[in-house]
Structure 1
Amino acid sequence: MTAGRTTTRGAGADAERPGVLPDDPSPGSPPAAHGLVIDGRPLPALDAPDARGVLRRAVRGQARFVVPASVFAMVHQACEAAVPVLIGITVDRAIAQHSLPSLLVTLGAMVVLFLVLTSSMRAGGRLVRRATQGAGHEMRVRVASRVLDPRGTEPGTVKTGELLSTATSDAQRVGMVNAAVWTAAGAAAALVVGAALLVQASVLLGLVVILGLVPVSLLTTLISRPLVRRSAVEQAAAARAAGTATDFLAGLRVLKGLGAEAVAAARYAAASATSRDAAIRAAVVIALRTAVVTALTGLFLAVVAFLGARLALTGQISVGEFISALGLTQFLLGPFTRIAAVGAQIARARASAGRIADVLAAPAAVPAGGVFSLPPGPLALEVHGVGGRLDLVVLAGERVGIVVSDAESRAAVETLLTCLAREADPERGTIRLGGVDLDDVDPVAARERLLVAHHDAVLFTGTLAENLGLGVPGLDEAAVRRAVRAADADQVAEVVPGGYDAVLTERGRSLSGGQRQRVALARALAADTDVLVLADPTTGVDGVTEALIAERVAALRAGRTTLTVTRSPALLAGTDRVVVISGGRVRAEGTHAELAGIDAAYRELVLR
């Protein structure tokens, strides 16, 4: 229960207790992801929503792909290590001895070796791709489920601007931890098999190669560090350029209205130039790294070749063993480099896992509730002491207009709307719906009966019909069309190119402000909830259209509880009662006609 709340409940409110949710967390605890399903399988909850837990789940959840993929990687790398050995055997037993049967046998063995090598590589690659994509998909589902959780998140815990990156690039990087496991398994097998084969040919040469590869690999890693730093700078600069472009596109109409296109273009050009310069600097580092690494590996191979040639000339090893040792040396450079790269890959995946964990562990804004059910039929609304002062009673089936007269009252009403939408619980006071404390009702159940249509309702990218709910399975087509007509949204379809099939751009920006409001209002009316709260639904609509909408909405919502926050005389005239809020509390109430006749302050607010 929220601190400071009155705990008295209406008579009979606890008679029913259906839909109680298991393991109901407290308001500050992270919500559990119940009921998630991927490919027909239930998705278990994470043991601990931290970076380690996310990475463990990414690997364990794809174990049926990662384990066989790692086995195939080890087989592939063992075969790769065997290639130079088989070449050496061919030289010693076939070419040096001019033996055609031996040549045919070794060539046949080479064919078989390459068949196993390529088959294991293809099989392992396919499996690890399924593992990485599957883990990324699972993380995207988890993030999306948390973001869409009806209990929401506490303000400031999840930044909207970072959610896209978290649900895409971060989820993909976490999935790539399975590729790191696959790579590490293959590299480990290559090192073990390659080292064993080298030592078998020559203990001295094997030790020189194995011990020499360590400093060569370390030097390669040190040289790569500036590249990583430059790459991060490049990515950040590119992201800033993309963000600048996105901001400009979002405010394109405003920029044109202010005549600031040239300034905006100059700012974008500067951001793009920064990104270009960072990319050039990174390219320079890449070229330098490639040159230095090539020189290092070439020098090391030259040393091994010199030592091996000395051993071959003195008869300590054969020519074929010398060729095998040289080939193995060049081959083993790869596994050492890959193992070093695996560490960096896991570090990036862990950083991304931490960001995902932060989203999954974000505390819920409201508790699950679910203890009490709401009574059927029209619902009354009682507000007591919300924001410290606001008291309001709306009878079941009553249509009430709310007029806000000052900033303090606007803040109180905004708090009320947030609480009615179950996006937060009141810090002070109580809200009762149908005689039941609203914060005892599960958010999903509450929103099925009470809808808050905010002033800044967002339209989705898609057709106009999809945004209105026309043709959506499960919705009453006739009821939706009545709502569309009441909001005058059918007139929007008549004037936009393409009609109901017109594709709206992001957030519906291809429509005018008034058109967006009519579409959003139609959506709210089509929900046909027992309680509907409208916040300034017609501020962008002309007076004639507003009067028509007010008349139709009043008729459509007759007998159902409706609150309309507005200063529109047309909308207020269609209500049963108007409540004027000043200083965060109710100052006056009555019909629109009564208040307009006796209250000068009211006339100044709504009729000026």
Structure 2
Amino acid sequence: MTNRLFDPSVAPAAVPEVNVRGPWSFLWWLVRARPWPLVLSALLGTAWMVPLALTPLVVGQAIDGAGQGGGAGDVVLWALVALGLGAVQALAGAGLIQAAVGAEAHAVSYSHRVLMRQVVRLGATLRGKARSGDVAASAAADVESIGQAFEVVGRTVGAVIAAALVTVALTVTSPLLGLAVLIGVPAAVLGIGPLLRPLQARDEAQREQMGIATSQAGDIVAGLRILRGIGGEARFAERFRRTSQQVRRAGESAGRMEAWLQAAGVLLPGLVTVGIVWFGAHLALNGAITAGELIAFYGASAFLTLPVSTATEAAETVSLARVAAGRICTLLCLEPDTVAPPHPEPLPPGPLSLTDPETGITARAGRLTVVVAPADRTGDLADRLTRPVRPDGIPPVLLGGVPLDRVDLAELRSRTLRSGPADPLFTGTVREELTAANPTRSPEALDRALWAADATDVVDALPGGLDAQLDEGGRTLSGGQRQRLVLARALLASPDALVLEDPTASVDAHTEARVAERVAALRTGRTTLVFSDSPLWRGVADHEIRLNPGPAPAHPDRPAGEPS
């Protein structure tokens, strides 16, 4: 069974339906999505390996021809054959590199795209469903592991075909030596098998520790200023050091198993080569094979170490890819809290009212409403008013008279916006950050949004102004500067219904007064709901709602200033 992760209306044709039944299903989906790079890589890998396998046989024929009085002509002929094989191998090798990198790039690109689309699909619900470290590790280490598995496919196919060809040639020359190769080479490959399961288990443990460490590092960086303020920097640094040591120990454990795997990949085919050479020398002394055939057997048996080592590498990379694909499938199987309604109802044009029968909150269309609520409830209330998620038995929030869970998600996101103190700033220029919701907004609209958020001085103070680069999260800015830029971004989006959660919690009273008055003026004729207990916001509100502490419903909405 397949699982459609993305809305067909937004998913490009280049990314087909994805199969997340399990890691093998996901890897096979990547193969089917674009098989030609792998097919070309396999063909070129065969063209690269086969000449290398045939060269010892050609050299043996040349030696036998010269020893049996064939003359210089036979030697020159076989030399030209060897030269031709070398030329084919060189050309195929150059093409193989490009084809293998193309197959790797395909796997990495498609994996990245489905991951990023899933992150966008989950939206704000991702934080509660997966660790940020797991997402970051999947987008980096897991995708890279899958790409490496696709890169080795061409060489592995070529190695298998070349090994089979050499085995057939040796069997035709000497059935006894051919039988030895038929037994020895598979035995060497199978001898590696018992090491794969422990390697996979240790890789999974290392990957788990890496996800934990990445999450901790992200949390520490995001909250470094707060940690320093409360004197907790050293304590959290020590905690991260302990986690890092756990990652190191897990990596060392996986590395030891990889070392054993690599050692087995050298030792086992080496033993096969020694055995075949000893047996061949014994046959040559008895006159069963010629000197040229002995050299050919030696060269061919030495070549067989390459297919075995390639098979070892393939087994290791595929094992890592399976672990990585399993992690990616876990993320891709997450479901958002909001799903598109089967039969959406359109919203009315113009300003939209917001009505919550459960709490009594009502924001009239085109008016500014201030809600005074306990601080520990504002986040949940803002979520409830803007997300079409409701427990069974609780009446839905109405947006323009339409239940939120019946509104098309694309229309809901384009006409409503919730902005809060936890909203991040992303890396890029200030202009790109502010106009992310609508890059076509005019410079005048941008100036008005900055003026209303009292953020013009923030931009002017940056080197480069609107073209200045912001660090991740806006770490170089103060809390008040970040909050004003976030507010300017929300105002520039110009939604029909805007829900603001404590939009001026980090600024002083004079700045808050200017922001409240300017936002009220800029949003005239559009619905704005502000969660704040500041008298400055209450002073510019068209309506005020007070919620009692606890889960009790609110009082009906009333004109601003009316006692509760």
- State whether structure 2 residue 94 is matched by structure 1 residue 122: yes
Match of 1:310 among 282, 290, 296: 282
Using the TM superposition, give the Cα deviation of residue 128 of structure 1 relative to its aligned residue in structure 2, in angstroms. Answer: 2.6
- State whether structure 2 residue 363 is matched by structure 1 residue 391: no
- State whether structure 2 residue 387 is matched by structure 1 residue 422: yes
Q: What pairs with 1:224-303 in structure 2 (closer than 5 Å)?
A: 244-272=216-244, 294=266, 296-303=268-275
- Work out whether residues 196 and 319 of structure 2, in 8 Å CA contact, stay in contact via their aligned partners in 1: no
The Cα offsets for residues 187-217 of structure 1, whole Å up to 9 and x where unpaired, read as 3202210110111121111111221233333
Q: What pairs with 1:182-221 in structure 2 (closer than 5 Å)?
A: 182-221=154-193
Are residues 267 and 156 of structure 1, via their aligned partners in 2, closer, same or farther at CA, if it must alter by over 3 Å? closer
Using the TM superposition, give the Cα deviation of residue 246 of structure 1 relative to its aligned residue in structure 2, in angstroms. Answer: 4.2
Match of 2:433 among 467, 473, 476: 467
Q: Distance in 2 between matches of 1:101 and 1:339?
A: 39
Q: What pairs with 1:49-60 in structure 2 (closer than 5 Å)?
A: 50-60=22-32
Higher relative contact order (CA 8 A, sep 6+): 1
The Cα offsets for residues 341-362 of structure 1, whole Å up to 9 and x where unpaired, read as 4344333323332333333332
- Look up the equivalent residue of 2:8 and give its one-letter code: H
Are residues 309 and 154 of structure 1, via their aligned partners in 2, closer, same or farther at CA, if it must alter by over 3 Å? closer
Normalising by structure 2, we get a TM-score of 0.88
- Work out whether residues 151 and 422 of structure 1, in 8 Å CA contact, stay in contact via their aligned partners in 2: no
Q: Distance in 1 between matches of 2:374 and 2:251?
A: 55
2:8 is matched with 34
Are residues 293 and 70 of structure 1, via their aligned partners in 2, closer, same or farther at CA, if it must alter by over 3 Å? closer
1:603 is matched with none
Q: What pairs with 1:154-173 in structure 2 (closer than 5 Å)?
A: 156-173=128-145
1:9 is matched with none
- Look up the equivalent residue of 1:393 and give its one-letter code: T
- State whether structure 2 residue 385 is matched by structure 1 residue 443: no
1:566 is matched with 532
- Work out whether residues 399 and 577 of structure 1, in 8 Å CA contact, stay in contact via their aligned partners in 2: yes
Using the TM superposition, give the Cα deviation of residue 148 of structure 1 relative to its aligned residue in structure 2, in angstroms. Answer: 1.2
- Look up the equivalent residue of 2:555 and give its one-letter code: R
- Work out whether residues 381 and 431 of structure 1, in 8 Å CA contact, stay in contact via their aligned partners in 2: yes
Using the TM superposition, give the Cα deviation of residue 483 of structure 1 relative to its aligned residue in structure 2, in angstroms. Answer: 0.8
Q: Distance in 1 between matches of 2:225 and 2:124?
A: 32
1:514 is matched with 480
The Cα offsets for residues 280-336 of structure 1, whole Å up to 9 and x where unpaired, read as 677677667666765554444333222211211221111111011111112123223
SS at match of 1:45: coil
- State whether structure 2 residue 376 is matched by structure 1 residue 376: no
- Work out whether residues 58 and 174 of structure 1, in 8 Å CA contact, stay in contact via their aligned partners in 2: no
- Work out whether residues 429 and 466 of structure 2, in 8 Å CA contact, stay in contact via their aligned partners in 1: yes
Q: What pairs with 1:171-186 in structure 2 (closer than 5 Å)?
A: 171-186=143-158
Are residues 526 and 426 of structure 1, via their aligned partners in 2, closer, same or farther at CA, if it must alter by over 3 Å? farther
1:481 is matched with 447
Match of 1:348 among 320, 338, 341: 320
Q: Distance in 2 between matches of 1:374 and 1:150?
A: 23
The Cα offsets for residues 430-460 of structure 1, whole Å up to 9 and x where unpaired, read as 2222222221111110122221112311111
Using the TM superposition, give the Cα deviation of residue 527 of structure 1 relative to its aligned residue in structure 2, in angstroms. Answer: 1.1
Are residues 96 and 252 of structure 1, via their aligned partners in 2, closer, same or farther at CA, if it must alter by over 3 Å? farther
Name structure 2 gaps, 5 residues minimum: none
Q: Distance in 1 between matches of 2:280 and 2:5?
A: 64
SS at match of 1:376: coil
The Cα offsets for residues 68-109 of structure 1, whole Å up to 9 and x where unpaired, read as 221222232222210110111121113664732222211111
SS at match of 1:529: coil
Percent same amino acid at aligned positions?
A: 32
Range with bigger deviation, 376-385 or 89-98: 89-98
- Work out whether residues 464 and 501 of structure 1, in 8 Å CA contact, stay in contact via their aligned partners in 2: yes
Q: What CA RMSD, in Å, does the superposition of the two structures yield over aligned residues?
A: 3.2
Q: Distance in 1 between matches of 2:228 and 2:130?
A: 33
1:17 is matched with none
Name structure 1 gaps, 5 residues minimum: 1-28, 600-608
1:585 is matched with 553
Using the TM superposition, give the Cα deviation of residue 479 of structure 1 relative to its aligned residue in structure 2, in angstroms. Answer: 1.2
- Work out whether residues 104 and 148 of structure 2, in 8 Å CA contact, stay in contact via their aligned partners in 1: yes
Q: Distance in 1 between matches of 2:55 and 2:275?
A: 22
1:333 is matched with 305
Q: Distance in 2 between matches of 1:167 and 1:280?
A: 23
Using the TM superposition, give the Cα deviation of residue 471 of structure 1 relative to its aligned residue in structure 2, in angstroms. Answer: 12
Q: Distance in 2 between matches of 1:100 and 1:149?
A: 73
Q: Distance in 1 between matches of 2:344 and 2:255?
A: 61
Q: Distance in 2 between matches of 1:30 and 1:470?
A: 28
- Look up the equivalent residue of 2:402 and give its one-letter code: V
Q: Distance in 1 between matches of 2:391 and 2:196?
A: 54
The Cα offsets for residues 346-396 of structure 1, whole Å up to 9 and x where unpaired, read as 3332333233333333234223136221111122222212xxxx1233322
Using the TM superposition, give the Cα deviation of residue 492 of structure 1 relative to its aligned residue in structure 2, in angstroms. Answer: 1.0
Q: Distance in 2 between matches of 1:231 and 1:155?
A: 25
The Cα offsets for residues 392-428 of structure 1, whole Å up to 9 and x where unpaired, read as 3332212110001475xx1xx5444223323624541
Using the TM superposition, give the Cα deviation of residue 480 of structure 1 relative to its aligned residue in structure 2, in angstroms. Answer: 1.8
Are residues 483 and 154 of structure 1, via their aligned partners in 2, closer, same or farther at CA, if it must alter by over 3 Å? closer
Q: Distance in 1 between matches of 2:181 and 2:25?
A: 39
Are residues 62 and 325 of structure 1, via their aligned partners in 2, closer, same or farther at CA, if it must alter by over 3 Å? same
- Look up the equivalent residue of 1:380 and give its one-letter code: S
- State whether structure 2 residue 148 is matched by structure 1 residue 148: no
- Look up the equivalent residue of 1:586 and give its one-letter code: A
Q: Distance in 2 between matches of 1:567 and 1:246?
A: 32
- Work out whether residues 152 and 423 of structure 1, in 8 Å CA contact, stay in contact via their aligned partners in 2: no
- State whether structure 2 residue 497 is matched by structure 1 residue 531: yes
The Cα offsets for residues 20-79 of structure 1, whole Å up to 9 and x where unpaired, read as xxxxxxxxx9644414566xx543223565434322221111212222221222232222
- Work out whether residues 415 and 496 of structure 2, in 8 Å CA contact, stay in contact via their aligned partners in 1: yes
Range with bigger deviation, 367-376 or 550-559: 367-376
Are residues 514 and 496 of structure 1, via their aligned partners in 2, closer, same or farther at CA, if it must alter by over 3 Å? same
Normalising by structure 1, we get a TM-score of 0.83
